[in-house]
Amino acid sequence: MEGKGDAMQVPGKRAGVIFDVEGVRAVVTGAASGLGFAMAEVLALNGARVNLLDSNGDLLEAAVKELADEGATVSGELCDVSDPDAVDRVFGAIAEREGGLDAVFANAGISRGAGVIVEEGQIEHADRSAYRQVIDVNLDGVVWTVQAAARVMRPQRHGRIVVTASTAGLSTEAFCGYGYIAAKGGVVNLVRQAALDLARDNVLVNGIAPGPFHTRIGGPSGGDPDVEEYWASTVPLGRMADPSELQGLVLLLAAPRASTFLTGAIIPVDGGTLVGPPISAFSRPAGGFVR
């Protein structure tokens, strides 16, 4: 039996080898801020060749410059993922320039529309325009991104596709609008279907389901103390997360030697949110507990 000392002598079992992304040709959508930037950052600063895609030109330019100034190999492309022709065009150009793709993070997403916690978010009042916008980006945009990635990866018979789902796609969430809930629920099954489809060609498809993170997705309200207090109150760990707390998982899912038998998984990163409400949310009955 191999012992701990034996593993120390085998370079291929070192973390630096298993999680090595040096030279990995990667694309990250919605990469100019938030979770997308954290994904692009950890890949780029560990040697991957990262193509950042975003629809916000100013933020994209700043993100690319920040990483380039750190010595990373990065480029930026404007892309609205809700436009399938634009996605095809951008992915085609990147794949031709890079000679293929190894890892694609379908991360771009928006949030529009009130949650059912308020009257205007209830189903009979739900804003149809907001619903359509969210579906266009958060569901259709992911489909087009996965499709474009598969067109490159299936012929080369390898690749990693990682989709940003959400705990809102795995459970109900009163603070989220109908468009967001519907899109993320669809994305969860999209990951599983694409994983089944692409497994025959060694293309692995997985999803990350973040819980409450500090990002720009909620717009200006993202910095509202009341909003933060609400989200923190739903998390057993008692706080929202920083995007950097996703980066270890990004390396796991992107590195060619890591997670080689993992596909079709939806991995929550939620501080225990899906486990249940924090213990502090329960009050002790006056009569005590009875078994």
Note if 180 is an active site residue: yes
- Say which amino acid occupies 82: S
How far apart are the C-alpha atoms of 111 and 83, rounded to whole Å? Answer: 18
Distance in angstroms (rounded) separating the CA atoms of residues 3 and 1: 6
H helical segments located in 104-221: 128-134, 141-156, 178-198
The position carrying tokens 């924090």 is: 278
- Locate 99 and state its tokens: 């000679």
Contact 103, 124 (CB under 8 A): no
What crossing angle do the helices spanning 34-44 and 57-69 adopt, rounded to 10°? 30
Q: Which of 131, 178, 180, 230 is catalytic?
A: 180
List of residues 6+ apart from 227 with CB closer than 8 A: 218, 221
**What's the rounded Cα separation, in Å, for the pair 188 and 206?**
9
- CA atoms of 204 and 158, how far apart (whole Å): 8
Catalytic (active-site) positions: 180
